[in-house]
Amino acid sequence: MMETKQAQELNSSPTFESILAFSKRVSLPERLIRAMVKQGQLPHVKSGTRVKIHIEAALEAIKKHSEKTAIEIAETMPVPLYTLKMPELQMQPRSDRKYRGRPPDAVRLGKLAK
């Protein structure tokens, strides 16, 4: 049986890989690959909790990503919430309460002698 060139290519290398295998293939940190997948910068397929990356398309995406300058990359990235300054809530002390939390048993049960 004679196999076509496309069939040989399909049999020789997988089309999809896990994040760990792909990170080893491209020598990039696994956390970076996961972040790019989460941001939608790498083509992937998610089945339940498992994520598989399309190898050829992801290599092209990384190549395009590497040609960008740092400013262009920063403009497209979402801003993490922890970098935003949230106004601190001003808690007003409650002066109508004598005790914090649960009052002592003597007070709660009315056994306090006057």
Helix (H, G, I), strand (E, B) or coil at 18: strand
Which band of pLDDT confidence, cut at 50, 70 and 90, is reported for residue 1? very low
Q: Provide the domain limits for residue 20.
A: 13-78
Residue 107 lies in a domain: no
Percent of the chain with pLDDT over 70: 64
- What does the pLDDT average to over 11-24? 85
* 68 within a domain of the structure (yes/no): yes
pTM across the whole model: 0.52
Residue 9 has pLDDT above 80, yes or no: no
Q: Which residue bears the tokens 């076509």?
A: 4
For residue 101, is it within any domain? no
User: Does residue 54 lie within any of the structural domains?
Assistant: yes
Q: What pLDDT score was predicted for residue 104?
A: 74
CB 42 within 8 A of CB 34: no
Asked, for residue 46, whether it belongs to a domain, the answer is yes
Q: How many domains does the chain have?
A: 1
Residue 3 within any structural domain of the chain: no
Q: Helix 55-67 vs helix 19-26: angle between axes, to the nearest 10 degrees?
A: 50
Stronger pLDDT, 42 or 110, i.e. the higher one: 42
Across the chain, what does the average pLDDT equal? 77
* Spatial distance between the Cα atoms of 99 and 113, rounded to a whole number of angstroms: 17
Is 96 inside any structural domain? Answer: no
83 lies in some domain: no
